[in-house]
Structure 1
C-alpha cells in the first residue's frame, strides 16, 4: 500500500487551465441538456405530432383537430403546470395553422380551440394538485424514514463477538415502519438482543414498539440478569397498554464467557444453526405468556441456556415470515430455506432468505417481517487469507 493511500491522499495529473475551463463548460452544458430533457413533455409532444401528421396525410381538419386535446391531458400525468401550458399552446398554434390550411369554418375552429383551452386549464390544475400531493407524500416518507432510523436503528455487521445482520420489511411500503421490532446491543453484561411483534397495526403498534425498545435498551445496560430485563419490559407494558394489547418477543443474551440465554414470551421459536449446518427450533421449556399478559396468565417466563459454539448461528424472526403464503396458500418453509441458504456471512444468508420470501409471496408481503441473524465466527476464518510476502530490498521503519 502506498504512502499516499495511507494518508488518504490521491495524486492526479494536473490538466491545463484551458482544458479544465472547456471541461467545466461541457459539464454545465450536459447538465442543462439533462435538466431540459427531464422537464420536456416528450410523450405529449409526440402525441400532438402524430395528430398533426395524421391531419397532413388525411387532409380532413375537423376529423383530427379535436384529438389535439390529448396532448395537454397526457402532460398532466407526467409534467407540471408549465409543461401542460407549453403543450397546450403548441397544440393551439398547430390547430389554428391546420384549421386555416384545411379551410375549417371559423365557428367550428373556435369551438375546437375553446375545448383545447378548457382541457389545458383543467389539466394544468390537475398537474398542480398532483405535484402538491407528491411533495406531501415525499415529506411523509422522509418523516417515516427518520422515525425508522430512530426506532429501528441499523445493526452493525459486528456486535461484540458476533457477526450480525438484519432484514426488515413493512407490509405498508409507504409507511416504512410497522409493529415488528428488533434491537441488538453490546452491554457490560454481554450482547443482548430482542425480536418482537406488537399486536395490532398502525400508529398504536408503532408507539408500543417504541416503548418496548426504549425500555429494553435501558434495562439491557442496567440489569445483569436477563430475566430482570424482561421484567422491566413487562412492568412498563402493564402500566401503558390496554387489557387486549400485548407483545410477543424473544429476548436473548450472551454473557461474557457464558452460554446463550433465551427467554421466549409467546413468540415463534428461534432457529439454531449448528456449525455442521443442522437447523433446529429452540422450543421453550416452559411456555410463557406474551409481554403485557403476565398478570392475566399468572405465569412467569423461564430462562433457557444453550451451548453456542464457534460457527453456530441463531435466527430470530417474526411471524410475518413463517405465515407468508404463496398463491396456493402454502406457508413459507423458513427452516428449509435457512438450510439451503446458510453461509458464513449473515448478510448474504438473509439476502438470500429475503429474496426467496418475496418470490414465495409473489413480491408483496401482507404482514411486517423481521429477520435477525447472529453468528459466532470461527477464529481461523480471520486468518484464512495468508498475508502477502514482504518485498525484498524494502525495510519498514519504526
Structure 2
C-alpha cells in the first residue's frame, strides 16, 4: 500500500523545480504573453476546469484532460502561462491532501513550462499544418517526458515496491494520450494564429462534452447502485429481502468454513397474523409487520441481519452465536422484543407474539440444509405459538415454551 506520509519530498520538490525553471527562463517569460492576455486567462481557467473531467481507469487510477489544456496554454501563451495553467489544475482539487496537490500541481506546472519553451523555440515564420503538427508533437513529447520523470520519483518515494508496474502503466496511458491529442493540438495551434477566441471556445466545448459524459456516467452508476439496493430490499419494511438474505447466508457460510465462529440462524413467524388481516384489514397488518421488523432491527446487534423472508415470516442471521445455550438466549431475546409492548397501529394497539425456530449455522452443511433445519424448529414452536424451538446438529432439538 502507498504511504501518503512519504510523499513530502516530491510534494515540495516538484513545485520548487517549476519555480526555479520559471525564474531561470525569466527572459523568455517576459515577452511570452505578447498581447494575448484574454486567451491566456481563458486557457488558465480551462485548465482548472479540465482537472475535473475525470475518466476512471481502475480502482486507484484515473485520467484527466488537464495535460492537453496545460500544453496548449504553454504553446499559445508561452511558458509563464503554461506554468500558471499547471498551477490552476489544483485550484478546484478540494479534499485532496496537500502532498497530492503539491506533487500533481508541480508536475503540471513543469509540463506547462516545457511546452511553452518548445513553443518559443519552434514557433516562428509561417505556421503550416505540417509545422503545427511537428510543434504539437514536440510539446506533447516534452510533456510526457516530464510527466513520466515526475511519476517515477513520486512512485519511488511513496510506493517503491510497485514502481515498475505503476510506472509502466502510466507511460502507456501517456503515450496513448499523446497520440490522440496531437492532431487536436495542431489544429488549435493553427487556429490561434487566426482567431484565439475560436481556440478558447473549441477547448471549452470539448471540456463541456467530457464533463457532461462524466456527469451522465456518475448518474448512471448511482442509479444502478440504487436499483441494485432496491432489488435486495423489501418494499414494505425496508429490510433485506429473501434474495439479500440468501446472499448473506452464502457469505457467512464461506466465512465460517474459513475458520470463523458459527452463527445463529432463526426463522420467525408472527402468530395468528391472518386473523389480524381479517379483523383489521391489510393496512393494519402491514403496520404490524413494519413495527416488528423495526423492533428486531433496533433491538438486536448491528451485526445481526434481519430480513423479511416472505409473508409474515422474518429471518435473522446472528454471527458469533455458539452452542445451544446462546441459541436459546438469542431466540428468547427475539420473542421478548416483539411481545414486550403492544403494537400501536393507525386504528388500535395489538398484542403481537412470534414463534421462533433456530439452528446453529456452523458450516458443516449447505445453507439450504441449515435453513430447512430452522424451518423444522419453527414448525415445532408453532405448535403452541409464542415459543422458541432450537434444532442442533445432528438431530438434537430443545423446546422451550413461554410461561
TM superposition score category, shorter chain reference: under 0.3
Structure ranking higher in helix proportion: 2
TM (normalized to structure 1)? 0.24
Largest Rg, 1 or 2: 2
Q: TM-score, normalised by structure 2?
A: 0.24
